[in-house]
Amino acid sequence: MRDKVTTPAIQARKDGPKVTVVTAYDAPSARIAERASADIILVGDSLATVVLGYENTLSVTIDVMIHHTAAVARTKPSALLVVDMPWLSYHLSVEETIRNAGRLLSEGGAEAVKLEGGRKRLPMIGALLATEIPVMGHLGLTPQSIHTMGGYRVQGKQTDAARELVADARALADAGVFAIVLEGIPDALAQIITQEVSVPTIGIGAGPHCDGQVLVFHDVLGLYDGHRPKFVRQYAHLADAATEGLQRFFADIQAGTFPSDAESYHMDKQVAQTLQSLKGERESDHA
């Protein structure tokens, strides 16, 4: 049993070892992430696309996030349990933000929240931290901004946009977030941000220089057949293995070889014989 991973422990990893992060959305995926010794399990709002079949992350609600976070929390992982605040759960007011984040912790069992955006989120982040709710930032390609970005596009490729992102990252770190996810930005920009902020950066599509890396569970294990961005490295092909397993199961059903004797329950031979001998009686009852 390893030590519980905490937000201060993650914050202290700026000088290594690298922070390992993977998403999980239910008890089985959380147990696998935990067995593999993830530092952080993130109940990402990617739940919307990879598990619930929506086109983007905008449709997932606070209640759905709580439902899935609670399933992960019931596995009692040693990994730090971070949850995404879904779109519109932290945009309307400071009060709404605290109420929603509080529910993710008190009803869902999360230990920290993640929210997307830079300096414009500082009032919400400050209020969350004042309420003792640890916050992880998320900058760059922020999927909840799909419509303002005009699609899932790499961000910060030009000087001005890159400078804005550096300023956002510094502001989040100064505000007190314990780590920042950098998504879909050039590797050189991620390297500069990583050098300039005091908290660990966690990259996804942001090159190798971040202080940690995160991928979506279904992408890394080959369970998602939607679009696969170039930054995804597949370490297993579980959908193929699962399909093959089910095909063999169905073939055994057709062949009559499933279930076997060992896979069946048995009764006393005498009772079975008596039942067989009463068969004629039952048939005449039904005639």
- The least distance separating ligand KIV from the CB of residue 87, rounded to whole angstroms, comes to 11
- The least distance separating ligand KIV from the CB of residue 84, rounded to whole angstroms, comes to 5
Question: CA 200 → CA 36, 42, 137, 181, distances in Å?
Answer: 21, 16, 11, 9
Question: CA 139 → CA 68, 173, 254, distances in Å?
Answer: 24, 12, 53
- Out of 101, 193, 204, 210, point to the residue binding ligand KIV (CB under 6 A): 204
Please state at what angle helix 62-73 crosses helix 94-106, rounded to 10 degrees. Answer: 30
For position 45 contacting ligand KIV by CB under 6 A, the verdict is yes
- Out of 10, 216, 220, 238, point to the residue binding ligand KIV (CB under 6 A): 216
Distance CA 263, CA 64 (A): 38
For position 181 contacting ligand KIV by CB under 6 A, the verdict is yes
Tell me which of 34, 107, 183, 283 is the catalytic residue: 183
* Cross-strand partners of 180: 137, 201
CA dihedral 181, 185, 187, 190 (to 10 degrees): -40
- The least distance separating ligand KIV from the CB of residue 256, rounded to whole angstroms, comes to 44
Q: Which is nearer to ligand KIV, 125 or 181 (CB)?
A: 181
Question: CA 114 → CA 1, 2, 57, 161, 260, distances in Å?
Answer: 27, 24, 14, 22, 50
- The least distance separating ligand KIV from the CB of residue 57, rounded to whole angstroms, comes to 6
Which has the closest alpha carbon to 117: 89, 80, 151, 96?
89
Q: Which is nearer to ligand KIV, 21 or 273 (CB)?
A: 21
Distance CA 80, CA 95 (A): 25
For position 104 contacting ligand KIV by CB under 6 A, the verdict is no
Which has the closest alpha carbon to 205: 172, 228, 169, 229?
229
**Angle, vertex CA 43, rays to CA 39 and CA 49, nearest 5:** 130
Q: Which is nearer to ligand KIV, 23 or 97 (CB)?
A: 23
For position 117 contacting ligand KIV by CB under 6 A, the verdict is no
For position 23 contacting ligand KIV by CB under 6 A, the verdict is yes
- The least distance separating ligand KIV from the CB of residue 184, rounded to whole angstroms, comes to 10
* Residue 164 bears catalytic tag: no
For position 142 contacting ligand KIV by CB under 6 A, the verdict is no
For position 206 contacting ligand KIV by CB under 6 A, the verdict is no
Copy the structure tokens of residue 109: 């069992």
Q: Which is nearer to ligand KIV, 171 or 210 (CB)?
A: 210
- Out of 34, 84, 111, 168, point to the residue binding ligand KIV (CB under 6 A): 84
For position 171 contacting ligand KIV by CB under 6 A, the verdict is no
Q: Helix, strand or coil for residue 140? A: strand
Piece of 43-51, 97-105, 223-231, 251-259 that binds ligand KIV (CB under 6 A): 43-51
Q: Which residues bind ligand KIV (CB under 6 A)?
A: 23, 42, 44-46, 84, 181, 183, 204, 214, 216
| Catalytic residue numbers, as ranges | 183
